[in-house]
Structures are given as C-alpha cells and as structure tokens.
C-alpha cells in the first residue's frame, strides 16, 4: 500500500473504469503525493447495474473502491445514451464538485487526441480541467511498467473484430503481451480489449472474484466476473 502525505497542494477526481490505465494513473498520482484523489467517478448503466465502459458489474467496482480506500461516485445513464444525455449527467457531477472547490479530473488516456479534445471541451463547460498523467507514453513500455508495478488485471472485454475471443478472461501479463498480434496496441488503447484490476500496490487488499462464463454478442466477448462474498 502506498503511504501518502496527509496534506496536499491540490485535489482532484479520477474518471474510473476499473481498468489498468485509470488504475496506473491513480497509482502514479498517489506515489507522487501532490494530489489528493477525492473520488473515483464511474459511469453506470441504469437497470443493468454494470459499468458503461465494458460491462463489469457495479458490485465489483464498489469492492475495488473499498480495496483501494477511495470513495466511489456514480454517474447514471440509460443504455446507449445520446451525447446530450451523457453530457448532462457528467456535467452535473463536474459542476457539483466545482462548487465544492475542485478544479481537476484525472484520466488514464494514452494517445487518442480526439477523445482528449472531447473530454477537455466537456470539462470546460463545467469549469474543470483534465489531467493526463500517462499521455503520449510509449505503450509497449507502459504495458510492461503496469505489470512490473504489480497491478493484477484480467481481460474482461475483447473486441472480436480485432482480437480473438479466446483472449477474454486472460491475465494481463508478459505472456499475454507476447501473444498479442503485432497490430494490437499492448494497452488496448484503440478499444481492442478492456481490463479489470483486482490488486496492486495501491490496494489495501485484493478483490476476490470468480471467473464466470464467456458471454458473446455480435462484436464483443465478455468474461463475466462474479464477486466473492
């Protein structure tokens, strides 16, 4: 567990998917000791109780937040929300925190400029600013830095138009990196895959889970994770 100071020059939120990139951005922020993370902010689909990014159950994200020791805040959206609906829900969250004195939101984005531009424009409407601690780092190096740091992750969603469904449910480790086809970004930044982190140096304890069945739709393969109780 990372020991951090009790007083910080700044405070921020972190946009949260439960995956390796936001976790590594959090880990490096905590290690630097300059910013206090007030909350992990996750977007959840109404009715399904699953994360909008890649379908992980809310119970697992809640358990992850407890293991890390940082409060979890939820932004609720309907399934397949329009941009105006998504933006209204997100802006309400940013504006509430702005009114409470926060000015920054941390993202784990790596190199997709159009996504960063969209985030920054939306943040500006809420008088907030984005911070991107992993921005433009070489993803081959970054992937290995994530593993060397001790983050334990599993692939929970695979885009089968880009990557074979057999990768769903695999551990994110050196063997997986070696097995990825050359055209696949090792961090999955182009949406090839998504991960769930169940332990790491910033966790107080691991998140216990079982691997359930592999679920398929016309495009994605999902490894259903079941929280141990």
Q: Which long-range contacts (CB under 8 A, 24 or more apart) does 117-123 make?
A: 119/15, 122/87, 122/90, 122/91, 122/94, 123/94
Task: Kindly report the number of other CB atoms within 10 A of residue 160's CB atom.
Answer: 17
pLDDT, one tens digit per residue, over 166-220 is 999 999 999 999 999 999 999 999 999 999 999 999 999 999 999 999 999 889 9
* Cβ(97)–Cβ(38) below 8 Å: yes
In a domain, 1, yes or no: no
SS3 152: strand
Which residues partner with 11 through β-bridges?
36
* Cβ(153)–Cβ(172) below 8 Å: yes
SS3 204: coil
Which domain covers residue 93, as residue numbers? 10-227
In a domain, 2, yes or no: no
pLDDT, one tens digit per residue, over 122-176 is 999 999 999 999 999 999 999 999 999 999 999 999 999 999 999 999 999 999 9
In a domain, 4, yes or no: no
* Cβ(53)–Cβ(43) below 8 Å: yes
Q: What is the model's pLDDT at position 227?
A: 96
- Residue 94, classified by CB atoms within 10 Å of its CB into exposed (0-12), middle (13-18) or buried (19+), is buried
Domain count, the chain: 1
Q: What is the model's pLDDT at position 186?
A: 98
Task: Give the domain CATH number at 171.
Answer: 3.40.50.620
pLDDT, one tens digit per residue, over 77-104 is 998 899 999 999 999 999 999 999 999 9
In a domain, 111, yes or no: yes
| Strand 193-199 versus strand 209-216 pairing type | unpaired
* Cβ(93)–Cβ(75) below 8 Å: yes
Spatial CB neighbours of 217, under 8 Å, sequence gap ≥ 6: none
In a domain, 196, yes or no: yes
In a domain, 145, yes or no: yes
Spatial CB neighbours of 190, under 8 Å, sequence gap ≥ 6: 112, 162
Cα separations (Å) of 17 from 8, 9, 60, 179? 25, 26, 11, 24
In a domain, 148, yes or no: yes
Q: Is the pLDDT of residue 6 over 70?
A: no
* Cβ(109)–Cβ(115) below 8 Å: yes
């Amino acid at each position: 567990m990372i020991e951090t100071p009790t007083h910080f020059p700044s405070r921020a939120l972190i946009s949260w998917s439960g995956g390796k990139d936001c976790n590594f951005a959090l880990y490096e922020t905590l290690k630097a000791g300059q910013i206090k993370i007030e909350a992990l902010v996750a977007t959840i689909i109404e009715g399904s109780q699953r994360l909008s990014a890649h379908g992980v159950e809310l119970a697992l994200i809640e358990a992850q937040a407890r293991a890390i020791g940082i409060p979890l805040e939820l932004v609720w959206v309907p399934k397949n929300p329009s941009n105006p609906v998504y933006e209204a829900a997100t802006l309400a969250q940013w504006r509430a925190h702005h009114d409470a004195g926060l000015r920054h939101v941390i993202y784990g984005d790596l190199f997709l400029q159009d996504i960063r531009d969209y985030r920054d424009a939306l943040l500006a409407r809420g008088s907030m600013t984005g911070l991107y601690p992993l921005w433009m780092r070489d993803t081959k190096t970054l992937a290995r830095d994530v593993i060397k740091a001790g983050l334990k992750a599993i692939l929970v969603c695979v885009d089968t138009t880009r990557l074979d469904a057999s990768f769903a449910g695999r551990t994110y480790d050196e063997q997986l990196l070696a097995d990825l086809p050359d055209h696949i970004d090792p961090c999955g930044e182009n949406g090839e895959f998504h991960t769930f982190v169940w332990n790491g140096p910033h966790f107080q304890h691991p998140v216990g889970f079982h691997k359930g069945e592999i679920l398929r739709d016309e495009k994605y393969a999902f490894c259903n994770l079941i929280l141990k109780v």
